[in-house]
């Protein structure tokens, strides 16, 4: 199937992926742009997983102060080379993640960083919310479901991306990994808000 250059340009504008990647995705998806977007997202995850073991000794400290001057964020994102750290893709990612943190106030980067005390505290609240009389295994499934929702809301990489709710923050990082060909990791962040702390 011949792929129209206009379709390639449209997919490229929507995803930021390279021209050849877009052409290949469209060929694999019979010219359907929406299916090709999903294909590229999955490919981004595959590329990110392949690069995940590579060392990230470079990177950048990003900062953001919200327009109202009441919230500020410092973040460290790492990559493999200084060249990529100074590039537009990495710098845009840095800014987007800073804004994400300012708006959503996550408690951790990923669920493995949430303390066992915080998890037990959440579970205790959720157990109190479960209607009485339900079997114990059903109660635990309800509590686990609520806990998973908590992680998706409060763990940075699982949160819906503020600029596109169809993506998670992890999807956005994976897309940057695909575009640059380098592993990237969110190392740490601090969020400040007037009156907190």
Domains of the chain: 5-51 (1.10.8.10), 58-109+155-193 (3.30.479.20), 115-153 (no CATH)
Confidence of residue 147 (pLDDT cuts 50, 70, 90): very high
Residue 53 and residue 177 in contact, taking contact as beta carbons nearer than 8 Å: no
pLDDT in tens, 168-189: 999 999 999 888 888 899 999 9
Torsion of CA 16, 22, 28, 32, to 10 degrees: 70
Residue 144 and residue 123 in contact, taking contact as beta carbons nearer than 8 Å: no
Q: State the pLDDT at residue 26.
A: 85
- Among 27-31, 107-111, 119-123, which is the least confidently predicted range? 27-31
Element spanning 72, H or E: strand 71-79
Distance of CA 65 to the CA centre of its chain: 20
């Amino acid at each position: 199937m011949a792929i129209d250059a206009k379709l390639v340009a449209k997919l490229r504008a929507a995803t930021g992926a390279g021209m050849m990647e877009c052409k290949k995705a469209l060929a694999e998806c019979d010219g359907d742009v929406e299916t090709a977007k999903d294909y590229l997202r999955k490919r981004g995850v595959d590329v990110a997983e392949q690069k995940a073991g590579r060392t990230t000794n470079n990177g950048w400290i990003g900062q953001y102060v919200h327009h109202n001057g009441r919230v500020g964020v410092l973040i460290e994102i790492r990559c493999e080379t200084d060249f990529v750290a100074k590039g537009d893709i990495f710098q845009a990612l840095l800014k987007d993640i800073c804004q994400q943190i300012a708006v959503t106030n996550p408690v951790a980067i990923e669920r493995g960083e949430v303390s066992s005390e915080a998890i037990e505290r959440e579970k205790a609240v959720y157990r109190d919310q479960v209607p009485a009389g339900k079997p114990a295994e059903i109660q635990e499934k309800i509590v686990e479901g609520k806990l998973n929702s908590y992680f998706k809301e409060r763990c940075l990489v699982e949160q819906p991306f503020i600029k596109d709710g169809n993506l998670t923050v992890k999807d956005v990082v994976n897309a940057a990994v695909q575009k640059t060909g380098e592993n990237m990791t969110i190392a740490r962040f601090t969020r400040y808000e007037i009156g907190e702390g």
